[in-house]
Amino acid sequence: MKINQLTVDEATASLRSSRAGLSAAQATRRLAEYGLNRIEKAEREPLALRFAREFTHFFALILWLAAALAYAAELREPGGGMAALAAAIVGVIVVNGVFSFWQEYRAERAIYELAKLLPSRCAALRDGAATEIAAEKLVPGDVILLKEGDEIPADCRVIESFGLRVNTATVTGESVAIEKTVMPDGEEDLLRARNVVLAGTLVVAGSAQALVFATGMRTEFGKIAHLTQSAAEPLSPLQREITRLSRLVAVLATVLGVLFFLLGQALGFPFWDNFIFAIGVIVANVPEGLLPTVTLALAMATQRMGRRNALVRHLPAVETLGAATVIVTDKTGTLTQNRMEARRLYFAEGPQDCGALHGGRDPAGRERRFLEVAFYCHDLRELIADGKRRWRGDPMEEALRRLAAPVMAARTDYVRRDEIAFDSDRKRLSTVYVTPQGPVLYCKGALETVLPTCSSVATADGAVPLSEALRSRFIAAETEFAHEGMRVIALGCRELPRGSSREQWEQDLTLLGLVGLADPVRLEVPQAIATCRAAGIRVIMVTGDHPQTALAVARQIGLVRTGRPLVVSGERLQRMTGVQLQLALDADEIIFARVGANQKMVIVEALQRKGEIVAVTGDGVNDAPALKRADIGIAMGLAGTDVAKESADMVLLDDNFASIVAAIEEGRAVYDNIRKFMTYILTSNVPELVPYLAFVLARIPLPLTIMQILAVDLGTDMVPALALGAEEPAPGGMQRPPRPRGERLLTWGLVARAYLFLGALEALAAMAAFFFMLDAAGWRYGAPLAHDDPVYLQATTACLAAIVMMQVVNVFLCRHPVESAFRFGLVSNRLIAWGIAFELALLALIVYTPPGNRIFGTAPIALEAWLFVVPFALGMLALEEARKLVARRLRRDRAQAR
């Protein structure tokens, strides 16, 4: 039998202890056997290894290879500029690696934060006397003393209780404080046992003695820690796509490099000239600026999301959120405000709104008595913080006091004299106050326990006898309130006659009315749920609360709109097989209630097996494993525990579900923006590659040098590409479903547009500019040109300038794959204007300054060389606008056909 199913004497005997606790000698022996009461540290990957990974992923390895080849060529032919190329490529790797590590570095402190939640000292009985000891010295069999405000240091069986109520939200997710008893119960799940208190939870009322039966990693708290340690973090969709793109680029660059090396050999090129040429082909096909641009674009997106109250801790999470197809959300604090509030009242005449008690007048009679009970009948404690008086304790009692405060706050003439404490059998609290009218007993509790103490009911015209009809009406009202997800409290009172004994106090009370309390829904949530539905994102509520409460909240926020949603309890979920759970998740409307920590992770894994990209919200220790296992974990910044925050990829600064929806919109924009600047960057690869093809196949001077390629990839293209990465979310972004899980970042349509259309037009302009300069200088086909010949330097400079000028136009064309470039003005993205200014300024430095000429092998060119490119740029603009027009018409025709 489990310890909660045993009597107190059986429980102490099973642990070879007693109500007086252990002796010091027994505790020492057990400490040696069971170890310290603390969370064990997880084995962590060395920091140096995590840092090294940023420099050894597949894309970085391609760049390392290119740098090594360039350095080898420099050793063979010093002074050829290959050392500068090698240094530039290594610089790209180092800067990107350090930046990525700094942005994505997440010290795995979740376990240490777990340990911080456990108290450092506690009171225990040793040798029959109460002794304060270090909490980590607790052992099974110890008896500890608990009082209001204590954090519980180990899993314990309650052996004495005096109105003990415990907030278990950090472990179970339950939003209401739970009353604890000493009586055995038949509960199989220790998390739900009424006579067990768990490590990491908080005593909110009462006091108790409890028998320690589990410490350290053997506690439920420790088991959650183990789940958090062992939960694997999946690669994000963006990480998978970048890996795939890296492999594709590596294969393409290598194949072309080898192919043209062999071709050069066949045509009789000298070996080292051919080798350098092959390096140029590889470098031309590797978009060196892609990785830093992606990293910087994600970092800029985190800044925008931060302004919308979403703090991103892990860069790929930005884009993952935009791909999310399912949001698994907690209820308390995320969909609701995480505070109890009086919602509805019931008097003898029927239901009323809470505003009826105030209404700008000083209530009298029944309403006055009702407010007195709400204001004075409690076990709250008064605290002074920041110079303000606050009342802390049971959230329901706080809500009742707030209900009465506008009327009763100024009244200080009542003095508390006595009380009959709340306990699990009575389920009610009575307090006695001395008032100007004499001693008055105020009583509140569950209707089932307050009603038997009442002989009359207060009405607007005075008290009347409690008839069966009135009794039935109050019971029916309680049932109705409960169905709406409210906690129902009955309030009663009586004036105590002189000489009455304590046993007579709770007799002949007058029932004043009922109050229904609930955690109110956040105002923004219903609209956010509707936005998710329009965006094709499914929202599933998973909570530790009662199914009836969960269903009532789901209806209020529009998550449930039908009459028969599927509500799965934690107990039912435990009996389900994996297949049954996956089939259950096919239901149009499903809610999970009373679930445990490991069960939330089971739900996440089942959704992932169904091909969903899952975002999970959570705030408690119990949520940490699911947050870590999800495609993106979202922790609450205000109410969330440090453990949840450390396990998550993103933290909501305002704990608001609506902020998740705003972040999803940003995430979708990030994916679209990555495609925009990928199109932009890959377009320039074609005019960088074609000169090498012409060099080999047409036997002409090389139109573009390797250093000039790097000037484009790592210089002029960078800021405009970042500007595209900083585009605001497009209108209608949340009116379309999430992209399919199998959709690629690099699609055939994107490749065709970049390489076969825009890139081909840029290559035509670049080669035309090169030959224009050669022709103007009188060069004829076949005539040799030295690498330092001014004619050759001007021709390659014209080729470089043509690529950059075409990219100036291209940045506008890449703002949308279908919509006209003229639809977007510079004002909508000022960074584009700055990007173009930077691009042209850098080009001017390269072309017209001696250092630029020396480093990049350029020479100043005349105005006619610039003007020669203008018709090509305008032609590309016209042709791309024509293509977009056709694409828009085809899209409209398909929409009409449907």
Residues 6+ apart with CB under 8 A from 340: 176, 395, 396, 398, 399, 487, 517, 518, 519
Can you tell me the distance from the alpha carbon of 786 to that of 891, in angstroms, rounded to the nearest whole number?
Answer: 53
Selection from 275, 252, 277, 270 nearest residue 694 by Cα: 277
How many CB atoms neighbour CB 343 within 10 A? 19
Can you tell me the distance from the alpha carbon of 852 to that of 871, in angstroms, rounded to the nearest whole number?
Answer: 27
How many CB atoms neighbour CB 441 within 10 A? 24
Answer left, alpha or beta for residue 485, where phi above 0 means left and psi between -120 and 50 means alpha.
left
**3-state DSSP of 284-307:** HHCCCCHHHHHHHHHHHHHHHHHH
Residue 330 annotated as catalytic: yes
Cα angle at 539 between 538 and 541, to 5 degrees? 150
Can you tell me the distance from the alpha carbon of 178 to that of 165, in angstroms, rounded to the nearest whole number?
Answer: 5
Place of tokens 């010295």: 137
Can you tell me the distance from the alpha carbon of 280 to that of 706, in angstroms, rounded to the nearest whole number?
Answer: 6
Parallel, antiparallel, or unpaired for β 326-329 and 538-542? parallel
Q: Which residues, in sequence order, are bridge partners of residue 593?
A: 569
Can you tell me the distance from the alpha carbon of 680 to that of 802, in angstroms, rounded to the nearest whole number?
Answer: 15
Catalytic site residue from 142, 150, 155, 330: 330
Can you tell me the distance from the alpha carbon of 627 to that of 633, in angstroms, rounded to the nearest whole number?
Answer: 4
Question: Are 26 and 215 within 8 A, CB to CB?
Answer: no
Q: Which residues, in sequence order, are bridge partners of residue 428?
A: 445
- 3-class state of residue 691 by DSSP: helix
- 3-class state of residue 530 by DSSP: helix
Question: Are 881 and 821 within 8 A, CB to CB?
Answer: yes
Extended strands (E) in 247-385: 310-312, 326-329, 341-347, 350-353, 381-385
Can you tell me the distance from the alpha carbon of 585 to that of 581, in angstroms, rounded to the nearest whole number?
Answer: 6
| Dihedral sign of CA atoms 776, 779, 781, 787 in order | negative
Parallel, antiparallel, or unpaired for β 350-353 and 341-347? antiparallel
Distances (CA, A) of 500 to 68, 456, 569: 97, 19, 48
DSSP string, 147-183: ETTPBP-SEEEEEEEEEEEEE-HHHH---SPEE--SS
Angle between helices 547-557 and 468-483 (to 10 degrees): 70
Can you tell me the distance from the alpha carbon of 467 to that of 480, in angstroms, rounded to the nearest whole number?
Answer: 20
Selection from 337, 342, 667 nearest residue 487 by Cα: 342
Q: Which residues, in sequence order, are bridge partners of residue 165?
A: 179, 205
Residue 30: both structure tokens together? 């057990």
Q: Which residues, in sequence order, are bridge partners of residue 515?
A: 345, 489
Active site amino acids: 330
